Amino acid sequence: MKQAAASIQEELNLRAKEFWPRLYRFFYYKVQNKEEAEELTQETFHKVFRQTGNDNIEHDKIEAYLFTSARNLLTDLWRKRGRRPGSLSVEELREKGWDIPQQRQEVEERLMVQQALQELSHDYKKVLTYRIIEGWSVEEVAMKMGRKPGAVRSLQFRAVQALKTKLQEGGYFDE
């Protein structure tokens, strides 16, 4: 048993190069910042490392095990942050071939957000594009839009609110 656990760790080490980017990409998609994505990826590895010490999962299940851990980690995190756990079923990581449904879902989500964004007023669209997609600072956006920084801050807040409402109507936060 000790032997098996050790070699799972060995295999994890061996295949980390393969798993790391996939886990990282999964987390990055969810949290949208490098720092948290790295933290969560690392934590997943650590958790599996610790657990395989007294667990004898089969070698070919190691991938599923890793991704289940990743999903659980995210579920806990969302719950801690006040999101309904129910909103997680869409984030199901399939045990096999999870990349493809994942990608399809990503495309569908993106289309929905793009559509909702298109329906916003011109200024809302503009401020969200500048601030979030293009990544300009409030001061830079203020210059671009010919407004004061304070006005940009409240404009972006109202824009996020309006978009949230639209996404909500479209069932974005459901399930």
Which residues of the chain form contacts with other proteins (CB under 8 A)? Answer: 13, 16-17, 20-21, 24, 28-36, 38-39, 41-42, 45, 80-84, 106, 109-110, 113-114, 117, 121-122, 126, 128, 131-135, 137-138, 144-146, 153-154, 156-157, 160-161, 163-164, 167-168, 172-173
- C-alpha dist (Å) from residue 16 to 5, 26, 52, 67, 86: 16, 15, 15, 13, 30
Q: How far is the CB of 119 from other proteins (least distance, A)?
A: 10
Q: Which amino acid is at 14?
A: L
Shortest Cβ distance from residue 66 to other proteins (Å)? Answer: 14
Nearest-angstrom CA–CA distance, 150 and 78:
31
* Nearest CB to other proteins, comparing residues 45 and 65: 45
* Closer residue to other proteins (CB): 96 or 169: 169
To which H or E segment does residue 58 belong? none
Residues 141 and 124: their CA atoms lie apart, in Å, by: 12
Smallest separation (angstroms) from other proteins to the CB of 52 = 15
Q: Is 127 exposed, middle or buried (0-12, 13-18, 19+ CB in 10 A)?
A: buried
Which CB, 58 or 83, lies closer to other proteins?
83
Nearest approach, Cβ of 58 to other proteins (angstroms)? 23
Question: How far is Cα 48 from Cα 3, in angstroms, rounded to an integer?
Answer: 16
CB of 57 to other proteins, least distance (A): 20
